[in-house]
Amino acid sequence: MKNLKNLLPISQNEKINFTKNLGVMLKAGLSLDQSLSILSKQSQNHKFKKVILNLQKEVQSGHSLADSLALYPRIFSQFYINMVRVGEEGGIINQIAKELHKQMQKTGRLKSKTKGALIYPAIIIITMIIIGVIMMIAVVPKLLDMLSQFGTQLPWTTKLIIAVSRFLTSRALIIFPAFIALITALIWFFKSRKGKPIWHKIIITCPILGKLSREYNNAMLARNLNSLIESGVPIVEALKTSANTLNNYWYQKSLETAAKKVQTGKSLFEIMKDYPKLYPPMVTEMIEVGEETGQLNELLSHIADYYEEELDQATRNLSVTIEPVLMVFIGGLVTFFALSMLQPMYSILQNVG
């Protein structure tokens, strides 16, 4: 059992299929024990099969499904577990499974769109750096040997490229290990308790990525909070659970603070208004209306729909906008390199002529 608890996370698609099929089986009248038995046989993932079989054993021993799922926090989120617990307590586990399936699909699409919008420019930039380093190490030294034979006067741009090339080739054994060590150290630091707030602050404040991050977190917050409240989870517990579903430290801390202040009688609107850089006026104003009219869950659904559409449009626009910018940037670098290396060659040809 201990080894199973330390499994690497199961893929999102496997969990989505598990949730969907569980809801269908329970709705058809199968018991939870029977449903888990069938699902374990259907699973193509050997590790997930073992997890489902252990869930079945826990249920057969008299434990609730929610408590059984809680044994695997790296596989099933707190949001997932709380929703299942609500379903079991209310006798509507099949309906909750259906809602969870919809929620997981929407979350998956949000993550996919956000990552997809950022992967393309990242790949282009990394490729440019690799090609540039190869040119500096393998191509420029050969051109330098040819130019040195003629002793021609070099322009400052060519001298700059030669200086960079000499620096890279002479210190390659030091530079590349040091660069890898630096990147590793930065990744470790930004994942640490002290570094994570700094990194997440950079993310939400930078021009392009910050907008995407804020829209993503507001969409996730509104959607998850809506599902929890609609399922009957108390607002304080819903805020704590929603905090665990968000991927930004500052959003998590704001919701943890909100959960504490709501217990003292303060409204959610008043609390969120204290975080204008995280929650724009539209979010706080709609939450205010929702609290005043008693339709908070409905307005949270509208907020989620709005930001999901905004994120969808933003990711499409990013792809359209960033491609020509990258092409211009790449073209500029190629032109700079070509002119810097061809100009002295042209001078040599003129002198020879």
Helix (H, G, I), strand (E, B) or coil at 86: helix
Q: What local confidence, expressed as pLDDT, does residue 154 receive? A: 73
How far is it, in rounded angstroms, from Cα 154 to Cα 146?
A: 13
Report the candidate in 195, 206, 201, 287 with the shortest Cα–Cα distance to residue 242. Answer: 287
If phi > 0 it is left, if psi is from -120 to 50 it is alpha, else beta; for residue 91 that is left
CB 136 within 8 A of CB 164: yes
How far is it, in rounded angstroms, from Cα 270 to Cα 223?
A: 20
pTM above 0.85, yes or no: no
Element (H or E) spanning 70, and its range? none
What residues does each domain of the chain span?
A: 2-76, 102-353
Q: What local confidence, expressed as pLDDT, does residue 151 receive? A: 62
Q: What local confidence, expressed as pLDDT, does residue 4 receive? A: 46
Do domains 2-76 and 102-353 share one topology? The answer is yes
Report the candidate in 15, 92, 99 with the shortest Cα–Cα distance to residue 55. Answer: 15
Q: For residue 235, with 0-12 CB atoms within 10 Å meaning exposed, 13-18 middle and 19 or more buried, which class applies?
A: middle
CB 304 within 8 A of CB 222: yes
Q: What local confidence, expressed as pLDDT, does residue 160 receive? A: 84
Select the CATH number that applies to the domain covering 102-353 from these four: 1.20.81.30, 3.90.180.10, 3.30.420.40, 3.80.10.10.
Answer: 1.20.81.30
Tens place of pLDDT per residue across the chain (353 aa): 444 444 456 788 889 999 999 989 988 889 999 999 999 998 888 889 999 999 999 999 999 999 999 999 888 988 888 888 888 887 888 888 888 888 888 888 777 877 777 777 788 888 888 888 888 887 777 777 776 666 667 778 888 888 888 888 878 778 888 888 998 999 899 889 899 999 999 989 987 788 888 988 998 899 889 888 888 888 898 899 888 888 899 999 999 999 999 999 899 999 999 999 999 998 999 999 998 998 888 899 899 889 888 888 887 777 677 777 778 888 888 888 877 777 777 766 666 55
Residue type, 245: T
Give the fold, CATH level 3, of 2-76.
Receptor-associated Protein (1.20.81)
Q: What local confidence, expressed as pLDDT, does residue 285 receive? A: 92
